[in-house]
């Protein structure tokens, strides 16, 4: 999706549901809530997509290092070994390493090219690879063995992450269900029995209860997220 398409879709999500809701049942508060939801929906989706791409990149990095290591043992130079990664592995790591190879072909510095990928993907493992390649170029050594060691380290870290994710799955799913249940219940009741939930949107006490509920939902989501978010 091009940036202008993303922005256009974002604008439609912000104002489309609110305009439709206000046309069917005029309620300024409901329209404002829908606008706020639409405002934060696309950035949240974008953040989730970025995290998904970063996680996939880190999963592929171990295999990429093995491909580079085998290429170096076969007599290829480091740029040629990188080219093997772009041919053998799919995106996102294929496209990221393709940009590194393209920059090296244009005379760019290998440290700068690899650092750009590490920063863009926010990957500590990629920063470790960059440091290893730069140190090897400066002091010498067997780069293939270094990459094998890094690849094994990455695989062990991914194994630990999967174990932690499995152990915290119950807490994450419970937080999602408990957080989504009141919102889903309010939406269902708004369709089945609008008069029952109308006081929430037409009275002062109802507005206060909605605000308090939203604040408590946000606090609960934040607390559960912090509990199950294990830092490595």
Tokens of 184: 């889903």
Rounded Cα–Cα distance for residues 136 and 74 (Å): 18
Tokens of 223: 């607390």
Cα separations in angstroms, 205 against 32, 76, 186, 200:
18, 73, 16, 7
Residue 32 belongs to a domain: no
Whole domain around residue 209: which residue ranges?
168-232
* Residue that finishes a domain, picked among 129, 157, 185: 157
Residues 200, 124 share a domain = no
Nearest-10 crossing angle of helices 28-73, 110-121: 140
pLDDT score of 129: 84
Rounded Cα–Cα distance for residues 39 and 184 (Å): 19
Tokens of 27: 């309620």
Find, among 16, 39, 37, 19, the residue nearest to 28 by Cα: 19
pLDDT score of 232: 62
Q: Could you tell me the mean pLDDT of each successive run of 10 residues in the chain, 232 residues long?
A: 88 88 78 85 89 88 87 85 84 88 85 89 85 82 83 84 80 80 85 85 87 87 78 66
> Torsions phi, psi of 214, nearest 5?
-65, -45
* Residue that finishes a domain, picked among 131, 157, 183: 157
CATH number at 116 reads: 1.20.81
Residue 45 belongs to a domain: no
Residue 27 belongs to a domain: no
Residues 138, 66 share a domain = yes
Residue 215 belongs to a domain: yes
Rounded to the nearest angstrom, the gap between the alpha carbon of residue 72 and the centroid of all alpha carbons in its chain is: 32
120-162: per-residue pLDDT in tens?
888 888 888 888 888 887 887 788 888 888 888 888 888 888 8
pLDDT score of 207: 87
Q: Please give the tally of structural domains in the chain.
A: 2
Collect all residues with Cβ–Cβ distance below 8 Å to 122 and sequence separation of at least 6: 54
Contact 101, 194 (CB under 8 A): no
pLDDT score of 80: 85
* Residue that finishes a domain, picked among 107, 128, 157: 157
> Torsions phi, psi of 140, nearest 5?
85, 180
Residue 208 belongs to a domain: yes
Residue 23 belongs to a domain: no
Residue 40 belongs to a domain: no
Residues 133, 98 share a domain = yes
Residue 73 belongs to a domain: yes
């Amino acid at each position: 999706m091009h940036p202008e398409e993303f922005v256009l879709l974002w604008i439609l999500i912000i104002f489309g549901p609110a305009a439709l809701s206000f046309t069917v049942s005029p309620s300024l508060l409901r329209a404002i809530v829908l606008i706020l939801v639409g405002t934060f929906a696309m950035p949240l989706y974008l953040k989730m997509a970025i995290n998904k791409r970063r996680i996939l990149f880190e999963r592929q990095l171990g295999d990429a290092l093995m491909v580079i290591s085998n290429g170096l043992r076969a007599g290829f130079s480091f740029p040629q070994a990188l080219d093997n990664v772009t041919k053998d592995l799919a995106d996102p790591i294929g496209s990221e390493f393709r940009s590194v190879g393209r920059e090296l072909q244009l005379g760019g510095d290998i440290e700068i090219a690899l650092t750009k990928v590490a920063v863009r993907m926010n990957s500590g493992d990629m920063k470790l690879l960059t440091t290893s390649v730069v140190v090897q170029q400066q002091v010498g050594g067997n780069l293939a063995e270094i990459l094998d060691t890094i690849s094994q380290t990455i695989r062990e870290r991914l194994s630990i992450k999967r174990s932690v994710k499995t152990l915290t799955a119950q807490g994450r799913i419970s937080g999602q269900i408990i957080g989504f249940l009141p919102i889903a219940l309010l939406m269902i009741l708004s369709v089945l029995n609008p008069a029952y939930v109308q006081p929430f949107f037409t009275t002062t006490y109802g507005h206060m209860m909605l605000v308090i509920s939203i604040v408590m939902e946000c606090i609960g989501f934040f607390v559960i997220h912090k509990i199950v978010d294990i830092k490595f």
